[in-house]
């Protein structure tokens, strides 16, 4: 069985879709995890004159929040790097669509989505959001940790 460029193109296109879904799915998991942790912390913080063991539980709640934010920032950055790599490969394949014998039936001019250049704002790009938002959650959990013992 001969693998042609149309098969390679389809494989990379599927990788782009898969990478996009994974990165945003991970981000949604981060939001859910941090929401649960913050609600648990706030429930305990609301108590007046909390005992020492309550503060220890609150500390145990904030530390995973700090660590998950750092881990998710790395995951977000790495997944976007893979996505950019896959898009670059697809763009290169689309760029060679007119070469003789590149593939048997070619890519129709209307079906080259990776040749389209879309300007993005630096602060609203996916890479920015998937990297910095988890770090902001880590910072928020650090503030909650300080409020546990100093507030």
Segment 53-58 mean pLDDT: 90
Rounded to whole angstroms, how far apart are CA atoms 73 and 69?
A: 6
Winning range, highest mean pLDDT, from 38-47, 53-62, 124-133: 53-62
> Looking at residues 94-108, what average pLDDT do you find?
59
User: In the structure, how many helices (H) and strands (E) does the chain have?
Assistant: 3, 0
3-state SS record for 22-46: HHHHHHHHHHHHHHHHHHHHHHHHC
Q: What are the tokens at 37?
A: 């942790």
Check whether 49 has a pLDDT greater than 90: no
Task: Give the DSSP per-residue string, 33-81.
Answer: HHHHHHHHHHHHHTSTT--HHHHHHHHHHHHHHHHHHHHHHHHHHHHHH
The fraction of the chain above a pLDDT of 70, given in percent, is 75
Gap between the Cα atoms of 26 and 45, Å rounded: 28
How many CA atoms lie within 13 Å of 124's alpha carbon, on the beta-carbon side?
4
> Cα–Cα distance between 151 and 149 in angstroms, integer?
6
**What pLDDT is recorded for position 98?**
56
More confident position, 140 or 12: 140
Give the chain's mean pLDDT: 82
pLDDT attached to residue 83: 86
Contact between 58 and 45 under an 8 Å Cβ cutoff? The reply is yes
What is the model's pTM? 0.77
Can you read off the two tokens belonging to residue 24?
Answer: 């945003």
């Amino acid at each position: 069985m001969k693998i042609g460029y149309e098969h390679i193109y389809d494989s990379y296109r599927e990788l782009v879709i898969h990478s996009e879904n994974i990165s945003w799915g991970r981000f949604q998991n981060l939001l859910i995890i941090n929401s649960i942790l913050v609600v648990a912390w706030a429930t305990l913080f609301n108590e007046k004159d909390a005992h020492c063991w309550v503060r220890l539980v609150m500390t145990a709640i904030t530390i995973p929040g700090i660590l998950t934010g750092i881990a998710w920032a790395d995951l977000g950055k790495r997944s976007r790097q893979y996505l950019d790599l896959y898009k670059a490969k697809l763009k290169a394949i689309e760029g060679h669509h007119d070469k003789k014998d590149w593939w048997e039936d070619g890519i129709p001019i209307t079906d080259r989505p990776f040749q389209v250049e879309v300007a993005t704002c630096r602060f609203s790009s996916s890479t920015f959001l998937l990297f910095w938002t988890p770090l902001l959650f880590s910072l928020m959990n650090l503030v909650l940790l300080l409020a546990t013992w100093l507030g």
